[in-house]
Amino acid sequence: MKPRIVRVNMTDQSIKEEPLPEKYKTFGGRALTSNIICDEVDPLCHPLGPNNKIVIAPGIVTGTDGPSSGRLSVGGKSPLTGGIKEANAGGLTAQKLAKLGIKALIIEGKPRDDKWWNIYITKDKIELQDGAWAHQMGVYQLIDEIWKKNPNKPGIIGCGPTGQRLLKASGIFGNNIENSDPGRYAGRGGLGAVLGSKKIIAIITDDTGGDKPEPINPDKFEKGRIALRDALLKHAVTGKDGGLQLYGTNVLTPIINEAGALPTRNWTKGRFEHAAKISGEATKETVDKCKEKFGDASEGKYAHACHPGCIMRCSNVVPDTETGKAIVSPLEYESAWALGANTEIASLKDVATLNRVCNDVGLDTIEAGNMLGVVMEAGVIPFGDGPKAIELLKETAKGTPLGNLLGSGALAVGDAYGVTRVAQVKGQSLPAYDPRVIKGIGVTYATGTMGGDHTQGYTIAAEILGIKGEVTDKFSLEKADLSRAFQATTAFIDSAGYCLFTAFAILDIDEGFQGMVDSVNAMLGQDVDAVEYGTAILKRELEFNRKAGFTKAHDRLPEFFKLEPVSPHNVTFDVPDEELDKVHGD
Amino acid sequence: MKPRIVRVNMTDQSIKEEPLPEKYKTFGGRALTSNIICDEVDPLCHPLGPNNKIVIAPGIVTGTDGPSSGRLSVGGKSPLTGGIKEANAGGLTAQKLAKLGIKALIIEGKPRDDKWWNIYITKDKIELQDGAWAHQMGVYQLIDEIWKKNPNKPGIIGCGPTGQRLLKASGIFGNNIENSDPGRYAGRGGLGAVLGSKKIIAIITDDTGGDKPEPINPDKFEKGRIALRDALLKHAVTGKDGGLQLYGTNVLTPIINEAGALPTRNWTKGRFEHAAKISGEATKETVDKCKEKFGDASEGKYAHACHPGCIMRCSNVVPDTETGKAIVSPLEYESAWALGANTEIASLKDVATLNRVCNDVGLDTIEAGNMLGVVMEAGVIPFGDGPKAIELLKETAKGTPLGNLLGSGALAVGDAYGVTRVAQVKGQSLPAYDPRVIKGIGVTYATGTMGGDHTQGYTIAAEILGIKGEVTDKFSLEKADLSRAFQATTAFIDSAGYCLFTAFAILDIDEGFQGMVDSVNAMLGQDVDAVEYGTAILKRELEFNRKAGFTKAHDRLPEFFKLEPVSPHNVTFDVPDEELDKVHGD
């Protein structure tokens, strides 16, 4: 179908379709969302006011047979950081939008009344539907209800109860392929609250009758796609029965724990003595046990795909050992860390349940886990207390003062309780790698355009896993070049629509990387360079952030990382400011 | 006594005295606090961490017979704005410190344990005393207890329960001359929390045996002092039975209401229909009535001095009409507005009681009133409900989630409840003049080094009251020069130690202004120019803020002032960004 932009204006509830402008012809995914935000959103607008926008875009190759390319990019001005935000997830919606020719869905304006809406997208019409019935409904139930009404199992993204309450820790959920778990979160930056401010609950996409997007150069595309596929299949991490398939991203828990970089007890220690209990291995064991106990009735899974056509299948479904029923899908490394090690909650069931609550109320798990760590440090509940933590997370959906405070994220809670140890950059909580130990990821946290986030420049691949057998010394302080290279390439991959985890394979196998680039160029009929392409995106994002008031002073880690050494290595974050400033230059 | 700096290090509880360094010889008050903060505090430190400092300094002429010169300057990095902060108040302490030769008291470091302290200062010793007994005590009782132990009625400044809880809306109280009301607040910027983070509750200054500071040029000083005194005495606003003596600063309520610039119902209207009920006139009437009813037993007062030697005596004591007992002292215009018009609470008794609660728990009234407006807009309690508002303010002392959230200020509450209409600049709530109507004060709010604050460049004097009979058009957009001139002169006055309200007289009477400048130069044995002196201070404050991450993007009012016209004039804030940027240049 003809590539176009759909613009939903919530001030007057009008819907317009526009051809994709010439200047956006080479864009998809993050390139498109970030450029539209830069072109159309005042960097000084209130993130929850009428002048912010939400832009939703599938990647360039999304919807094709490109392997593991079903990623969705969501952009806006972040209520959490005040800067630009792109959050990215798998799930069903990206491919369906792509098959309907929708390159970007822009939601703008703000209703003047209190009516709630859903957006319904099919081949023949795009319309706003009454969403009152869905208001404050738990997201598991919401997806069930929508699927009951529509047997085509549409893609659904949206904001949960916390997003509808405009809380800054809320993300944008996306549904799974085959069950009602909304665990495909474009979780970061509080974009759920932006969608909530537009009075949109769910965006429902039924692509029945849609077509695969066509490459401009089909032969080149096919060759590229296959080169990438082969690389993914043969790589030990991404391939069949590789680490990701067996243990999911949570394969990292013992590795990062061993490295002494698994932030524990609100970032006061680098190792969690019970790490094994919440690891990917523990998840696999639980799945296997339930399979043994309940047979086919067990809902537990690993090697589970987050979107159709994923080769890596790093997702999972964590079953309840008592019933065999699914608790949550997926339980990822970052979530297991945030809700487990960082809170010292050592029960896989509690951690999976905490993740389920996040999914149900609409919270970002990384923000939620950091918030819990801070709340525990403040003495509100004890470290390690799973049941109490579950109650606290449920509270965020209730509109109480406590719930609203907790749902505002770790920094807000730290401020309210006078806790100075809040691991965040630009207001956004940090993920599962201690930057005092792994310096390069600290450089990414500090300098990335998205605030504290790992996916924007995942130097862990070089510093922990190694590239072509070589591991970059994690303690080395010269990491500006490494972080910059990762940040630029990531911006390209986020635009292509490929999953970031393809990186494990393409960093090791050059043909795979070339295949990815070729497949993108074949789609576009262009000859773009991945790093140049990514660098151009970063440049625009940096420009937005500069206009929003960010300076080099914001490209710093919180003071406590410099003051408090972390065990077992007893190191602080000592990358010089000059090295941080080298990442993006002046 | 020999001018010196006292340095209290809370990391090891050491106390050192240092001679005033040569480079600070011409400094006092704000010049001293701001320069010490710039010289010694990392602009990127956590405001509640060991690397922030609190600097307390009397003005240059404070302690002498300079009229209305008993002002205290308190400086630090603000937890509310993240930038530099100087908050300024009258009361007893400034003159006592000056008479003991203490040019600046620096409190630095941070204890590693949970022990609370008071600082006790006399002519013979400066020591840390156990403060456990005072922890979480209401401030009225605290002052009573200290005065009971020390019949010399020492000056007392400190932080209340909310400051001890490290809440960002907490100020630094100071006691009155003759009663236990701690209403002399260096209230703004959350400096109470900084003091609380140092585990200091009260700083008790007994100047028995101290000496008046001596001018270097006594004749010139005497001439200057008298010229200023005469100007103050003969001016209609500042003189005997002038507006300030009869009605206090709250003389402004009907004036600003008439101008359509009295922010009402959380900044949605420019006039409050019940303004008269919370005005200075209403206060005077209440005092007069109580005097009639209770005779000398009535504690109500106007023409009440906030420190010994004040000529203007704009303070008051608001009595309870049922008992004649004091409710609060003082009730100022900004507080009556914040806790009254902005919340639509139309009862003088309720407003005075709200102010008393702020004083008792340690909150800044401007931040508290804006916070209440936001909470009311969020629907937590109804607009106009005094008793419920009183309960909410009391909650801030209790350490509950609600209390901690409310005590974090209006922006934090707005964020937690998704309220976009939060009147703040750089995180600090705005005072009692709508910038959509009075554009110059908007320029000050936006560009001042202190965040949203009126005292740093009080253009109201020109735009509402008029200078030498001429009123600057409040709607005119060219206000950069006006605001800059006020900002620079104010920095000088805040350094001199004179009360800012001397400005009403010296703007009209040139001899008064010259007398003020002469008195300062006579103290210093220098020949400083007021505007140059003030400009140099602003330059350093701007430098601190730039290093802390502030840019021109932070010199802006919140978006809603541009989007929402305010009645009755139906105007928005339309001063161009270029005009704002002209204030400080590049």
Of A193, A547, A553, the CB nearest to B549: A553
Please count the CA atoms within 13 angstroms of the CA of B492 that sit on its side-chain side.
Answer: 24
Cα separation, B14 vs B8, whole angstroms: 6
DSSP code for B363: B
8 A C-beta contact, residue A74 and residue A191: yes
Between the two ends of chain A, the Cα-to-Cα distance in Å is 43
B44 touches chain A (CB under 8 A): yes
- The distance between the two most distant Cα atoms of chain A, rounded to a whole number of Å, is 61
Residue A214's pLDDT is: 96
| Mutate: best of B197, B391, B404, partner A, most A CBs <10 A | B404
Are B256 and B341 in contact, with CB atoms under 8 Å apart?
A: no
CA dihedral (B69, B72, B73, B75) in degrees, to 10, reads 180
At A461 the pLDDT is 96
Residue type, B427: G
**Per-residue exposure over A517-553, b if at least 16 CB sit within 10 Å of its own CB, e if not:** bbbbbbbbeeebebeebbbbbbebbbebbebbbbbeb
Interface contact B408, partner A, CB < 8 A: yes
Find all residues with CB under 8 Å of A7, minimum gap 6, and list them: A15, A16, A17, A18, A106, A108
pLDDT digits (tens, 9 = 90+) for A281-331: 999 999 999 999 999 999 999 999 999 989 999 999 999 999 999 999 999
pLDDT, position B251 = 96
CATH 1.10.569.10 maps onto chain B at 240-434
Query: Could you tell me where in chain B the CATH 3.60.9.10 domains are found?
Result: 4-205
Q: What is the pLDDT of residue B497?
A: 98
Given CA atoms A553, A555, A557, A563 in this order, what sign does their dihedral have?
Answer: negative
Structure tokens at B120: 């006790």
Is some CB atom of chain A closer than 8 A to the CB atom of B170? no
Cα–Cα dist B287/B284, whole Å: 5
Angle at alpha carbon of residue B232, lines to B230 and B236, rounded to 5°: 115
Domain B4-205 fold: Aldehyde Ferredoxin Oxidoreductase;  A, domain 1 (3.60.9)
A416: nearest CB among B42, B49, B408? B408
pLDDT the model gives residue A586: 77
Q: Tell me the ipTM for this assembly.
A: 0.96
| Residue B269: DSSP 8-state | B
**What does chain B come to in residues?**
586
User: Which residues of chain A does CATH 1.10.569.10 include?
Assistant: 249-430
Q: Is B421 on the interface with A (CB under 8 A)?
A: no
Among residues of chain B, what percentage have pLDDT more than 90? 98
**Rounded to an integer, what distance in angstroms lies between the CA atom of residue B396 and that of residue B188?**
16
Phi, psi of B209 (to 5 degrees): 85, 0
| A2 has pLDDT over 90 | no
| A585 in contact with B, Cβ within 8 Å | no
* Nearest of B341, B585, B369 to residue B480 by alpha carbon: B585
Of A168, A415, A547, nearest to B553 by CB-CB distance is: A547
Output the six-digit token pair for B510. Answer: 């040139």
B389 in contact with A, Cβ within 8 Å: no
Q: Contact at 8 Å (CB) between B269 and B256? A: no
Q: Residue B252 and residue B243: Cα distance in Å, rounded?
A: 9
Q: Provide the pLDDT for residue A577.
A: 98
| Nearest Cα residue in chain B from A167 | B416
Structure tokens at B159: 């932080």
pTM: 0.97
Which residues 257-276 of A are in CB contact (within 8 Å) with B? none
Handedness of CA B562, B563, B568, B569 (dihedral sign): positive
- Given this model, what pLDDT does residue B548 score? 98
List phi, psi (to 5°) of B328. Answer: -155, 155
Contact (CB, 8 A) for A293 and A324:
yes
The parts of chain B modelled with pLDDT lower than 70 are none
Answer whether A380 touches B (CB < 8 Å): yes
CA distance B212 to B97: 10
Chain B: closest CA distance from residue A548 (Å): 6
Average pLDDT, chain A: 97
Kindly report, residue by residue over A529-551, the tens digit of the pLDDT.
999 999 999 999 999 999 999 99
**pLDDT at B1 (0 to 100):** 77
How far is residue B166's CA from residue B182's CA, in Å, rounded to a whole number?
19
Q: What percent of chain A has pLDDT over 70?
A: 100
Q: Which residue has the tokens 């006790």?
A: B120
Compute how many other C-beta atoms are within 10 angstroms of the C-beta atom of residue A568: 11
The CATH number given to A249-430 is 1.10.569.10
Q: For B240-434, give the CATH class.
A: mainly alpha
Contacts of A42 in chain B (CB under 8 A): 559
CB contact at 8 A, B86 and B30 = yes
- pLDDT at position A1 is 77
